[in-house]
Structure formats: C-alpha cells, structure tokens
Chains A and B, each alone.
Chain A
Amino acid sequence: MRLECKVTGGDFQAAGEAAAKLKRTLRQVGIDAETARRAAIVAYEAEMNIVIHAFRGVLSVDISPESIEIVADDEGPGIPDIPLAMQEGYSTAPEHIREMGFGAGLGLPNMKRYSDEFHIDSTVGRGTNVRMVINLPSKGSLT
C-alpha cells in the first residue's frame, strides 16, 4: 500500500496534514498504536522540515507486512553539512519559525530516534532526501 502527499514550503496552514492522514490510515489498516505513533512522528518532522526549509516536496509512504517506509523528498536549498544538521540543538530555522515553536534543532535527530533505519542524502542547491523505515512488530507481539 502506498500513500503520497505533496508538501508546499512555507504553507504552515496545511503543515502536518500529510502526517495526520498517514496516522489515520495506519490505524485503519490495523497497525498498532505505538508503531503508528512512531511513524506519525517521523512523518510529521519530515513534513515540517519541508515546510520550514524547502520550496516543495513529496512525502511518500509504503506500507508492507514487515515495515513502513517513509520518504521525504524535497526541492530546496539542501544541507551543506549533514553531521552538523544531525546534532541535537543545531538549527538554521529563522526567528519567525522559532516563534511558532519550531527550530529546536531536534527534527532530524527525532526522525532518527524513532526510526529503525534512517538514511539522508542532500545536494546543496537541489534538495534533500530522507528515507526512514519502521519495522512492524511480528504478528505474535501485536498488542
């Protein structure tokens, strides 16, 4: 099963809708609450990163019996120094973004924290691609 949502940079009104839609879908197809929550958090952070930093992007999700794969692919400025961007507390978000409660420098670290697999690739002047995998609990351990 595949979901795909376009995300527009700077659109704070619609920001989070893609992640919310994903979460509802995951619950509808019977994914347990904790896994759906983790997937929703990483999708939300990825979506917000596009809204805050990029011009536009696509959030896509593939749900298989084994895992949930979430890919955020954007057209934007890219990240010059990925290890630096991965550091907790490092943020390039401007003041007006921080006033909305973002820019704590935890977006990428959060995505990594809640994922079982985390890959990031970025080209300055072109954009960033983040791929995250969350493994589904085996059927025997579903709650």
Chain B
Amino acid sequence: MRLRDVMRILDATILTGEDKLDQEIEAACGCDLISDLLAFTRARMLVLTGLVTPQIIRAAEMMDLLGIVFVRGKKPTPEIVAMAAEAGIPVLCTSYPLYESAGLLFEAGLRGKCAWPRTETDGGAATTSASASAGTSTTTGTGTGIGTGVVTDTGTVIGADTDDKTRGARGGSRDAP
C-alpha cells in the first residue's frame, strides 16, 4: 500500500512529505507510548498515534519509520511539522480515532508486523509478564493499553468478522467514536 492510499482511506490531510506519497508502506502500528514504539516496531512502518509531541517525531526518526498519522483530529504544532520535514518523515492527520484508523487500514490489506509477541528470553522478559506489566503501568491518560498491539488486535477482530455491514460504513462512522 502506498502512503497515498493511506491518505485516501483515512480521508487524511498531509502536512509534510508530499514528495513521498508514492512510497510503499509495508506495515503499520498504533501506539501512544514512545517506549512501546521503540520496543516493538520495526523499520519501514507507518505509525498511527494520538501522541502529538516532538518526541514522537524523534522516535520515528530513530526507528526509520516511513510516516506518522495523527489520529482523532489531533493537529501537531508548526514546530513539530518542521521537525518532521527536517527528518524527512511524512505527517498525516485524520479525524478517525486510533482503533478505526487501524481497522480501516487493516481491512484494506495493511498488516501489522510488530515484533509482538516477543520471543526473546532476555532477563525473564516473557511475553505474558511483559504485556501484563506494561498494561498495569500505563493506565494513565495517554496510556491506551498496549499501544503496539492495537493493529494486531483490531485486525484479529475485523479479520474474523464475516459481516461486511459492520465494517463498511467508512463515511458514516466519523461521528460515532
């Protein structure tokens, strides 16, 4: 899927990175926590987030991510956009919430390829304990659960759904959170 397709599917505006609209996006993740992003995503992904801070741009730059989509109608400041432009990271904005944005992209064929669940055994970081502890530690305003799991989770739900009526109302879903 190209970035241009992401823009169309999410009815998004682009604030910087117009020259990269034909770039191929291989996978995406939804994430509102920087450390989750750093822990679980891979290079050449698109990140969907409601976290509008300069640090999300910096983290994306470190991770070699291919773009950022700000969801829920969040608008970055001109400084954040300038930072993204300098780092060469396209920035899109959509009114859809994180869950719906992820679902729409997943439905259109864009999968999540996060390193989740993890399989390493470094220092007892077993998958179950990691997810449980991450969940309990992030129950704050921005801690929307285990962020990087969102795409996979929604994908499971949507992918298993056999009733197209429940997931085709793209245009009418924007007012219903």
Q: Given the complex, which residues of B lie within 8 Å of A12, measured CB to CB?
A: 54-55
- Taken together as a complex, chains A and B put the C-alpha atoms of A83 and B113 apart, in Å, by 30
- Asked whether A110 and B58 contact (CB < 8 A) given A90-B133, A104-B134, the answer is no
Q: Given the complex, which residues of A lie within 8 Å of B55, measured CB to CB?
A: 12, 15-16, 48, 100-102
Task: Indicate if the CB atoms of B34 and A104 lie closer than 8 Å.
Answer: yes
Task: Tally chain A residues at the interface, Cβ within 8 Å.
Answer: 36
Task: Indicate if the CB atoms of A33 and B43 lie closer than 8 Å.
Answer: yes
Interface hits, A76-122 → B, CB 8 Å: 86-91, 95, 98-107, 109-110, 112-113
Per-residue interface assignment for chain A, residues 1 to 26, with 1 indicating a CB less than 8 Å from any chain B CB and 0 otherwise: 00000000000110110011001000
Question: In this assembly, does B38 line the interface, its C-beta being within 8 Å of a C-beta of chain A?
Answer: yes
Residue in chain B with minimal CB distance to A106: B35
Q: Given the complex, which residues of A lie within 8 Å of B122, measured CB to CB?
A: 109, 112-113
- Asked whether A112 and B64 contact (CB < 8 A) given A101-B33, A101-B56, A104-B134, the answer is no
Give the interface SS of chain B, mostly helix, strand, loop or mixed: helix
- Taken together as a complex, chains A and B put the C-alpha atoms of A16 and B33 apart, in Å, by 16
Segment among A34-42, A56-64, A124-132 that sits at the interface with chain B: A34-42
State the 3 A-B residue pairs at the shortest beta-carbon distance, nearest first: A89-B133, A16-B58, A106-B35
**Could you give 14 example pairs across A and B, Cβ below 8 Å?**
A13-B54, A16-B55, A20-B61, A89-B134, A89-B135, A90-B137, A91-B137, A98-B138, A98-B143, A101-B34, A101-B53, A103-B35, A103-B140, A109-B122
Interface residues of A (CB under 8 A from B): 12-13, 15-16, 19-20, 23, 33-34, 37, 40-41, 44-45, 48, 86-91, 95, 98-107, 109-110, 112-113
